[in-house]
Structure 1
């Protein structure tokens, strides 16, 4: 029997941004000694998405990529560092602890699972499901939407620039 998969619950749209390979830092108020592959659970809270839609109504046409209350992908937790000036150019870094992520993957089909606080071990049954799960290829359009969402969430969104090709 293999080791249970570790999992981290993250709010949308940030969970999707991590799994799409765009968000490479997750900010936490605590650290961990664990390094390795983690599952990314999209939490149930939808307030961040609602706020983005309120600010930018055009984003209501987003593809149905945001699922809640499910594991949507994986990333490798390669390090945890305290926020410093070295991270100032990374728009995702805010600290106090910056979890550095690499090798993100989005699942083709999300796996239902309850979220929890902290970095937690998944039940054996869910870990087995994840071992069989298929990875979804990302399109360039997926990455563009992720960048637009980040800009909207951070207040740097330029509506004319984002939709100039439409």
Structure 2
């Protein structure tokens, strides 16, 4: 029996940043706007924006949806940089889920709004498609299959 199509939410991110989100240590995406959507977010690797010979933790593929993350929250970057005593309780709880500010992955925080991402999982078979601006939706025949979590760690190495 054929499965009903699934609607997924997708964000286009340029390479090598898309691979850093799915296979590396990039836990935030910088944007100039806040999204109302929270939940599973598929990452579409759009065009290459890095240097030609720049290494990436993944394959450097473009023009395809390569993985899924959980969009936890959008927070203004200046709030993230505050000492904990100045944060609201919900912000303190949120910031504790992510690496400490001394951690090297904080180099990714830079835009006016930080989209906090967690649980990156690569797709077993990337979905080839063109990208769009903002968060966009796409219907797929069935829920895209992801690589099991322990296999994803081996793939990224």
TM-score normalised per structure 1: 0.68
Q: What pairs up with 1:11-160 in 2 under 5 angstroms?
A: 11-43=14-46, 45-50=47-52, 53=53, 59=55, 65-84=59-78, 86-87=80-81, 89=101, 90-122=106-138, 124=139, 127-129=140-142, 131-135=143-147, 137-139=151-153, 142=156
Q: Which moved more, 1:85-94 or 1:33-42?
A: 85-94
- After TM superposition, the runs of 4+ consecutive aligned structure 1 residues lying more than 4 A away are none
Q: Alignment partner of 2:141: what SS?
A: helix
Partner SS for 1:33: coil
Structure with bigger helix share is: 1
Distance 1:92 1:119, change over 3 A: same
* Structure 2: 5+ residue stretches without partners: 83-100
SS of alignment partner, residue 68 of structure 1: coil
State the structure with bigger RCO (CA 8 A, min sep 6), 1 or 2: 2
Structure 1 unaligned blocks of 5 or more: 144-166
Kindly indicate which of the two structures has a greater share of residues assigned to strand. Answer: 2
TM-score (normalizing by structure 2)? 0.72
Corresponding pairs, count: 130
CA RMSD of aligned residues (A): 2.5
